[in-house]
Chains A and B, each alone.
Chain A
Amino acid sequence: MDVSPQVIATTLINLPTTAADLVAGNYENLSESERVLLLIRFPRILLALLVGCGLSVSGAVYQGLFRNPLVSPDILGVAAGCTFGATLGLLLPGSDFTLVRICSFIAGLAAVSLALTMAKVVHSSQTVVLVLTGIISGSLFHAFFMILKTVADPYNQLPAIVFWVMGSLSGTSWVDTLQLLPIILGGYACFHLFRFRLNILSLGDSQAKTLGVNPKGLRLFLISVSSLMIAVCVASCGQVSWVGLVIPHIVRTIIGPDHRMLVPCSALLGATFLLLADDIARSAFSSELPLGVITSLVGAPIFAWLLYHNKNRGWT
């Protein structure tokens, strides 16, 4: 559907009254294009910004905490857990989208908790052990997911599962967006407060200790916050690959590894990138493309070019 500039302009002019209508749940007063803009496009835009910000910031934090540029936010099994939960939700009879999201969120947090508990039982504070238990937990939930896929009805349920896994922002409503908003903003605020400490944690545990920072509690807190952020992101729009891994990378090659700049810049770039990717996914072809496909297709060449262009900075 085409939205002309005039329609946008009149919508914006009437925004106070329409906002009042929206809050009151008074959708009858809105024109058709106003409905499209306010009830479909705006929440979707906002969601894209929030998810992009959430994924890339938690990616940046994870890479710092694990001192490894190849770490992506799903290293502790969050994404695998979320995928399993969502699939379970899609298979349950009479399930609506809210239930899918709740299942996804709970299973994602369960996967991380499993990884953290295993690491605690091993009695090791080493990040390597945490990575390994994350892999264990992730593969366990992936196996559950595969089982669900085999029992799913191949004509109705399986395509839904596959499409959900590839990620999409379609069907976003204000309710979803507003649920996501406090968690993403709150999480970002946490990271922003600790952004200098992230530099210290990125040196490793014994260095952090000699510099006067007790790494254990802070790391657990930051991991929990970012897992929460990733869980809500994946639960609301499926697995959007590449953003969490590569946006922090791109930012690091441009401005360096200092988390004081890395955290806010990753948030901005991640949000912008996902918004653009979603625009392309929505409008490039007559039918909507999965978001994960676009993020990879667009992100890969950009990252390759940056890697070449900044040969002597960052990682190379």
Chain B
Amino acid sequence: MANISVEVEGVSHRFGPVVALEGVSFSVAAGQMFALLGPNGGGKSTMFRLLATVLPLQEGRVTVGDFDLRDRARGARAILGVLFQHPSLDRKLTVEENLWHHGRLFGLSGKNLRRRIGEVCEPLGLSERRGARVEILSGGWQRRAEIAKALVPHPQILLLDEPTTGLDPAARRDFWQHIESIRTMEGCTILLTTHLMEEAALCDRVTILDRGKEVATGAPADLVAGVGGSVVTVVTREPGRLIKLAHQDLGVEGHRSGGGVRFDGADGAALVRELNGRFADIIDSVTLAKPTLEDVFFAKTGHGLNE
């Protein structure tokens, strides 16, 4: 199918006795921004490495563009732009030299490559830093140079592994602005892994992974709508007692979450009034919110995303 960019079917992967992925399937349409969301150890890095073709496929089927990874991994590599979690720039070389070598690994050369380097540097604000050695650049600028590097070979699909790890909030915002504009300008499909639900919420579709299994897939808004109602989060010194009392007196089920208690349910506003009225002595604060992807994760797995 021409409009499918990446198709993953029944993929399982083991490291010795440890099962990292178990029967994971999802597909990414061309031009989509797609997130693999999950906690550390959830299996997203393994999935990323399989897609980036640096890990051999053990079980299942993956197609990237028209290429089946089992026998045409090299073809897939030619249409993938990969942004690794760890830096992949040579620190002793300048930004331009890094991009130059990377382009040549993909068969670009001469004037075409020089022009392409200009094209990817300009919107990232890197033009004036092209001649700077990577080792003297700040973390934020290095990240921009990494993005430029991944874009040099005209990728149809951009793979990003935990792309904002280690960036401060300002650099993180900056990063997302650039990704948005790249998407518009280059028209490539973007597939990223993240453990941050705010980042996954920016995507068109999300697959949630937990302990190597696919927990849910869909548009963030649909997934959130599936949880329904609202989420009430209570900060309390006595979570156990509050859960018991709420069950006895109000017939609602609370779950421990972080240091407090959360209630997923339909009428959040009414619940807040009841809780405040009856248990004010053991409650420090109550928050009423619409559900987020984190709540979707909680609803599907019974534990928090970053617990």
Asked if A and B are interacting partners, one says no
Residues of B in contact with A (beta carbons under 8 Å apart): none
